[in-house]
Amino acid sequence: MSTATSSGPRAVKANRSRRKVEPLYYLLLFPAVALFTLAITLPGVVGIVYSFTNSIGIGEWDFIGFTNYIAAFQDPAILSSFLFTFGFALCTVIVVNVIALLLAIGLVSQIKFKTALRAVFVIPMVISGIIIAYVFQFLFHNSLPAFGQATGIGFLETSLLANPDLAWVSIVIVTAWQSIPGTLLIYIAGLLAIPGDVYEAASIDGASKVQQLLRITLPLVSGYVVINIILGFKNYLNAYDIIVGLTNGGPGTATRSVAMTIIAGFNSGDYSYQMATATLFFIVSVILAALQLSLTRGRSSF
């Protein structure tokens, strides 16, 4: 009996290995692989090669080894952009996930018009980031200072975008406003997957709403929290359009992200130097992707 049982999985694996792959599979797979290789993989490899040269993007060039990488680690502008980008990403991911989770809990509860409210809350997700940035730029430059002057709130009397110490706050606000809907939808899906019997049993046992939130809701949606945090952090590291529309990296370089620094370097002739910066940024993204896989592997919440 044990021999038959143990041979079962082996037989299944043997059958799978002998299974013939349809030619249509390769026919459909080839265009996707070819486009990915030509549009992403090949340019990425070429860029990494150029990061070890003194190329300005055109003309002749020579290999200079790790000179660009050493210079990047010693460049205050590069270090400042990395510091701002990571700080901005960390603050934004916290704000987005806290607000989105609270909204999701409210939108799955027994309230009126919850279906209509769900539709309203996802509207920012479908609007272009640059359009959102220009709208909020007008609000921060005009409406908010006028409100601050009328109410006597000192730090609002001038535009937040012109304050080197507070400009990042406006970027976090606008980015969160656009990002919350996508995160909200994931949390709603996670909350709806929790059986209602769990909450009924907790209510019978005398658990309060706060206890149900801390001991039932949060543990059961922890997988969704992890994926939202990691995916959000990776996305915010690539912040560009909203920052360009709001501050264009200013005042000075106070809100210049890594993406802005790289693109600005391309336009000023620092091609190989910024390729080194982009390669370092790519390595960070790969590390985060590996972290995501390790944290989400084996979770039954997804």
Tens of pLDDT, residues 215-243 = 888 888 988 888 898 888 888 988 898 99
Q: Given a cut of 70, is residue 155 above it in pLDDT?
A: yes
> Where do the H-state alpha helices sit in 152-221?
167-192, 196-204, 209-212, 218-220
* Residue 62 · residue 54 · CB < 8 Å: yes
Across the chain, what does the average pLDDT equal?
84
Q: In this predicted structure, what is the pLDDT of residue 1?
A: 45
Side-chain half-sphere CA neighbours of 217 within 13 A: 22
For the stretch 75-133, pLDDT in tens is 998 999 999 999 999 999 999 999 999 988 888 877 676 677 777 777 887 888 888 99
Q: In this predicted structure, what is the pLDDT of residue 296?
A: 66
**Which domains does the chain carry?**
1-36 (no CATH), 70-296 (1.10.3720.10)
Q: Given a cut of 90, is residue 52 above it in pLDDT?
A: yes
Q: In this predicted structure, what is the pLDDT of residue 149?
A: 86
Select from 244, 221, 266, 277 the least CA-distant residue to 77.
277
* pLDDT (mean) for 61-77: 91
